[in-house]
Chains A and B, each alone.
Chain A
Amino acid sequence: MDENALILDASRGDLEAFNRLVLAYQDILYNQAYRIMGDKDSAEDATQDAFISAFRHLSTYRGGSFKAWLLRIITNICYDELRRRKRRPTSPLEPLDDNDEEVESPSWLSDPGERPEEAIERNELSNAIQLCLGNLPIEFREVVILVDIQEMDYAEAASVIRTPVGTVKSRLARARVRMRDCLQKHRELLPASIRLMGESKV
């Protein structure tokens, strides 16, 4: 069954049809939430809330990219949560060990199928990227996540954040420059391959 038919059935209250859409998009939404929020638990909560909200407001979907519509919902949910946290800060981004110190390579980022050195390198890079993403202003962060991590084109990204394509273009350029500067500041977190490449060319 194609996506439009599933959306139509879901909008008529067919929960099974909607759940098939959930299975198709849950990785994308979770990934978006994880990159914006920076931690797994918040990303899970945001993803679940996004799908609940999407089902309840399916009547407001007016065609176009369903993926973009879902990403807009989860991005807004993440914003709301970040704003709430800003008003009432609670927990640090990194998990804490027994001595209340941040764990640099948390075990929840690891993939059990990897070799240890690969896992370490990937985790270091992932940490560095997540750290730098977290330092970006939210409007830059969302654009860089949509274009460079979700690999959307400018028009799609513009439809998600409801801004002109020109705004996406300028925000993305500034976000990439900031990411570059940030990654250079945290060179020790980068894997050797990236570090050497940066030294020779940047």
Chain B
Amino acid sequence: MTTPITPRDWEFLSAYLDGELKDKEKKLLEDRVREDDKLRLSLESLQHVRAVLRSQPIQRAPRNFTLTPVMAGMDKGRSQAAPVFRVMRLASVLATIFLVVISVGNLLANRMQPVQVSQTFAQQPAFGMGGGGGGGGGSESEESLSVPEALQVEEQITSEVSDMAADVLQVEPLPAGTESELKAAVPNPTPTPQPPVESLRKAPEAGQPLEAESDEIDGAQTKASTITFIGGLQIILAILAITTGVLAVYLRQSTR
């Protein structure tokens, strides 16, 4: 008896050769092979193919494939330096970015500052002295004040207020002769103590304009301290960017 060989039959024949059939399947196939010549020839043909393939000698490795530390990525110096290099590179980049952002922001702020100051000047009553303010930077217009100028103005205010206070405290001159008697009675006259500048600044004689000037001075001081802080920060960031950048380059060069 001969029946067409189906793909299922080929699977059974192939698995039979490898001993991968269950006992029941194996017995059933053996019975069919005994009865079916075509199936028997098919089994034999597969058996030959399998035998030929299995007769092939193993191809020996032509060399050893053992790994060196470099191949395995275990170069110690490099692997240890790699994280440090990455940190240095990142720090340098971040410091540079912050430096640029702060510098640009500061520059923009300085460009906007003179307009505000001139407006303040226009609104103020004349008091014989300039107003405070004036941002740092040195790019101001003629009406704005730099930090040294603001400090100069403060000194000027202080001296003027002192003069005013002296005028207020001045007494009428004594009659002739009285002065010599008083000198005799008091051999070491103590000088009249000068009132503190701060209290004089708040004196009612100074009036409203003095308070405004005081606010401006405070503003100038605040701005001056801000400018100093930003300048310091810029310097620190620049040093950080350069140092970490140089270190990163050095690490990269030394691990190559």
List chain A positions with a Cβ less than 8 A from chain B: 13, 15, 18-19, 22-23, 26-31, 34-35, 40, 43-44, 47-48, 51-52, 55-56, 122, 125-126, 129, 144, 147-149, 151, 153-154, 169-170, 172-174, 176-177, 179-180, 183, 194, 197-198, 201-202
The 8 Å CB contact of A52, one of B52, B63, B71, is: B71
Compute how far the CA of A102 lies from the CA of B64 in the bound complex, rounded to whole angstroms: 29
Compute how far the CA of A186 lies from the CA of B138 in the bound complex, rounded to whole angstroms: 92
Is B160 on the interface with A (CB-CB < 8 A)? no
Q: Which of A13, A52, A122, A148 has the most CB of B within 10 A?
A: A148
Enumerate 15 A-B pairs (CB-CB under 8 Å) in ascending A order. A18-B72, A27-B61, A28-B58, A29-B61, A31-B59, A31-B60, A34-B59, A40-B62, A125-B55, A129-B52, A154-B15, A173-B10, A173-B14, A176-B10, A202-B44
> Does more than half of chain B's interface fall in helix, strand or loop, or is it mixed?
loop
Number of interface residues of B (CB under 8 A): 36
Residues of B within 8 A of A174 (CB): 7, 10
Compute how far the CA of A171 lies from the CA of B223 in the bound complex, rounded to whole angstroms: 82
Residues of A within 8 A of B15 (CB): 154, 169, 173
The 8 Å CB contact of B48, one of A29, A52, A172, A197, is: A197
Is B45 on the interface with A (CB-CB < 8 A)? yes
4 tightest Cβ-Cβ pairs between the two chains A and B: A173-B14, A148-B53, A19-B66, A30-B61
B74 to chain A, nearest CB (A): 6
Instruction: Assess whether B46 is in contact with A153, with CB atoms less than 8 Å apart.
Output: no
Instruction: Assess whether A153 is in contact with B18, with CB atoms less than 8 Å apart.
Output: yes
A176 to chain B, nearest CB (A): 5
Q: Which of B11, B46, B59 has the most CB of A within 10 A?
A: B59
Residues of A within 8 A of B41 (CB): 201-202
B22 to chain A, nearest CB (A): 12
Task: Report if A22-B59 is in contact (Cβ < 8 Å); known contacts: A144-B53, A179-B49, A202-B44.
Answer: no
A-facing residues in B25-66 (Cβ within 8 Å): 41, 44-46, 48-50, 52-66
Residues of A within 8 A of B69 (CB): 15
